[in-house]
Structure 1
Amino acid sequence: MITTKWLQTRSLYWKRLEQMLERAAGNGIKRLTRAELRELGALYRQTAADLSALRVDGGSQQYAASLNSLLARAHNVLYSSTRPRATAVIEFYASTYPKIFRRNFGFFAAAFLLFAVAAIAFALVTSFHPEFQNYVLGPEMVDTIQRREMWTHSIVAVKPLASSGIMTNNLSVSFMAFAAGITAGVGTVYMMLTNGMLFGVISAACVTAGMGRQLFSFVAPHGVLELPAIFIAAGAGFRIAAALLFPHLMRRKTALRYAGQDAIRMMLGCIPLLILAGIVEGFVSPSGLPEAAKYAAGATLLAGLVMWLGLGWKADKGESEASNGIQILP
């Protein structure tokens, strides 16, 4: 049951949000400083959580209606920016996206760990029981590996077509991993485990056949972009699953709406990564470049990815401290 003390405490935040909306009237968020924008975002999230609590209390419906109207005004101010499209896109990828990734890093890490555990486990199984590869790869693929022939050489003859096909396939896998989150994460877990298993079995089979160097030098240039992109997509799926299973104080529908916004923005970062990975896989990975050059290309791309996703990480702590007084309260 909502108490008078609870309402008095929360009303201070609601009044502050209303003051900021009045300040932003007319020119919108352009009139607000960066610190005020952070405060506005925190107040918006606080008020949304409060509204969810009021809606489940039968005696607080008048407060809920008022708060719903306040949130609608805040939403219009936050999401009706008139900035030029190109500028908004650049700012999203340069500043906003790295923060979204770091905020949801735990979901990314979960996808990576599932893939890695499956890859290591099935690589060991294949190493100790070589016959297992037949069940996973099929006799034709196993025969190709045992003849020490790289199946990837066929890409070289049709580079543009291959690059397009690779991008389409990777995008399909990523969107499937993302969409599978609506199954409470079961589908996403399955995809990470099966893809990890496939990678582990192929790796062990190639190493056993003496083709480890060829395989890993092929994977290195594009894999450093392709695999993280797929893990991010799976992480977005887990973000949806977490809201579905653990909505906390919010209604499940509300929690899913917020999670969906976050997850879709996570997916927006996968698209350029997968496009670039497809180009590299179609033109660089199967080329006749020395192995050292391919590993160097992979290391360079990985360093660039880490630098991009780490942009502004030093400011995260400062932003967190700045909003300590406006944290979402239980």
Structure 2
Amino acid sequence: MISTRWLEKRKTYWARLELLVDRSNKGGISALDHRELQELGLLYRQTASDLATVREDVTSNQLSFYLNQLLGRAHNLIYMGHKQKISGIVRFYTQTFPQVFRETFRQSLLAFLIFAVTGIATWAVTIHDPTFAHRLLGPQMMETIEKKEMWTQSIVTIKPLAASSIMTNNLSVSFATFAMGITAGIGTIWMMIINGMLIGVIGAATWQAGMALQLWSFVAPHGVLELPAIFIAGGAGLEIARGMLFPGLLPRRESLALAGGRAARLVLGIVPMLIIAGIIEGFVSPSGIATPLKFLLAAVLFAALTTYLARPGTPQPEAN
């Protein structure tokens, strides 16, 4: 037999659960803050336990029915909350990220141009002054190139570890490039220059050693995802700088907040690109797969990426 004291004590919790459920039904799950969402889960579990107790009392059928209905409503709400989170992630990558990329395309293009101009200039300097490559790459790597050996062969023996290390490194570089936008873009520009110089000097050194095909057949499969991701990260950093330096009619703080929101979405958007690129760089790029197949894979991936980023999406509201 359920005691009146127990019943009065538990009614407070049931009423609170019902209030949270009613609020969510009216305003959606977003009507609850983080603390209330945690409370909802706790009250749901407590009420489920209470229902088990009530069912043992054959005289409490009406109360059992009420609690069962309340738990059913709460269960649907919690389930839909998880479903909405998943659909939100899908919506972000299918609509929001491509849309924000197109809105900030000029910044990503500028990052690419800084990279490309630096790379071409470094290539030209290296071709005319071979000692430049020695100074920039160091004697150990130059010795490997002069022996016509690819330094990437070590990846083959430790593929899983290499893929993990590559992904971590690429993510770190991309996040650093993005974060340096707060230096009015100077740090971001410097990161693009460094990357351009590295590609330029390695490209020239391997070309002089007759290893250009080996290099680009290694770079192409993962590079068609990795390099655009780095350009987008650079664009994110430059977007922060734009919001800081050129607020227009907005207060500088508000302009920076809006630009920072767009930049953050850009960086979140490139995470899958870098993960896929890391896996390819660890397993496919250094493998013995025929060179034409590697370039074919690169072409397919680049076409897919271009189609994905150019795909029209539903315009997204600005971040608060």
Into which bin does the TM-score normalised by the smaller protein fall? 0.7 to 0.9
Counterpart CA distance in 2 for 1:162 and 1:248 is 46
Counterpart CA distance in 2 for 1:180 and 1:132 is 28
Counterpart CA distance in 2 for 1:164 and 1:136 is 27
TM-score normalised by structure 2 residue count: 0.73
Q: Which residue of 2 aligns with 1:110?
A: 110
Q: Which residue of 2 aligns with 1:68?
A: none
Q: Which residue of 1 aligns with 2:229?
A: 229
* Paired residue secondary structure (1:84): helix
Q: Give the AA of the match of 1:111.
A: A
Q: Give the AA of the match of 1:208.
A: Q
Q: Which residue of 1 aligns with 2:297?
A: 297
> What per-residue deviation string (whole Å, max 9, x for no partner) do you get for residues 129-158 of structure 1?
111101110111111100001000000000
> What per-residue deviation string (whole Å, max 9, x for no partner) do you get for residues 77-118 of structure 1?
xxxx96711111111111121111000000000000000000
Counterpart CA distance in 2 for 1:157 and 1:251 is 55
Q: Which residue of 1 aligns with 2:75?
A: none
Structure 2 spans left out of the alignment, 5+ residues: 1-24, 29-79
Counterpart CA distance in 2 for 1:96 and 1:140 is 45
Q: Give the AA of the match of 2:146.
A: Q
Structure 1 spans left out of the alignment, 5+ residues: 1-24, 29-80, 320-330
Q: Which residue of 2 aligns with 1:187?
A: 187
Counterpart CA distance in 1 for 2:265 and 2:194 is 26
Does residue 93 in structure 1 map to residue 93 in structure 2? yes
Counterpart CA distance in 1 for 2:172 and 2:87 is 29
Counterpart CA distance in 2 for 1:280 and 1:107 is 27
Counterpart CA distance in 2 for 1:130 and 1:186 is 29
TM-score normalised by structure 1 residue count: 0.71
* Paired residue secondary structure (1:249): coil
* Paired residue secondary structure (2:149): coil
Counterpart CA distance in 2 for 1:160 and 1:105 is 34
> What per-residue deviation string (whole Å, max 9, x for no partner) do you get for residues 240-283 of structure 1?
00011111111111111111111100111111000000000000
> What per-residue deviation string (whole Å, max 9, x for no partner) do you get for residues 272-310 of structure 1?
000000000000000000100100111111011001101
4+ residue segments displaced more than 2 Å: 25-28
How big is the shift at 1:27?
Answer: 5.1
Q: Which residue of 1 aligns with 2:13?
A: none
How big is the shift at 1:26?
Answer: 4.6
Q: Give the AA of the match of 1:302.
A: F
After superposition, the CA RMSD in angstroms is 2.1
Q: Which residue of 2 aligns with 1:156?
A: 156
Q: Which residue of 1 aligns with 2:21?
A: none
Q: Give the AA of the match of 2:99.
A: K
Q: Which residue of 1 aligns with 2:258?
A: 258
Counterpart CA distance in 1 for 2:311 and 2:219 is 26
Percent sequence identity over matched residues?
A: 53
Does residue 141 in structure 1 map to residue 141 in structure 2? yes
Counterpart CA distance in 2 for 1:92 and 1:270 is 12
Q: Which has the larger radius of gyration?
A: 2
Counterpart CA distance in 1 for 2:240 and 2:104 is 11
How big is the shift at 1:161?
Answer: 0.1
Q: Which residue of 2 aligns with 1:215?
A: 215
Counterpart CA distance in 2 for 1:243 and 1:104 is 12
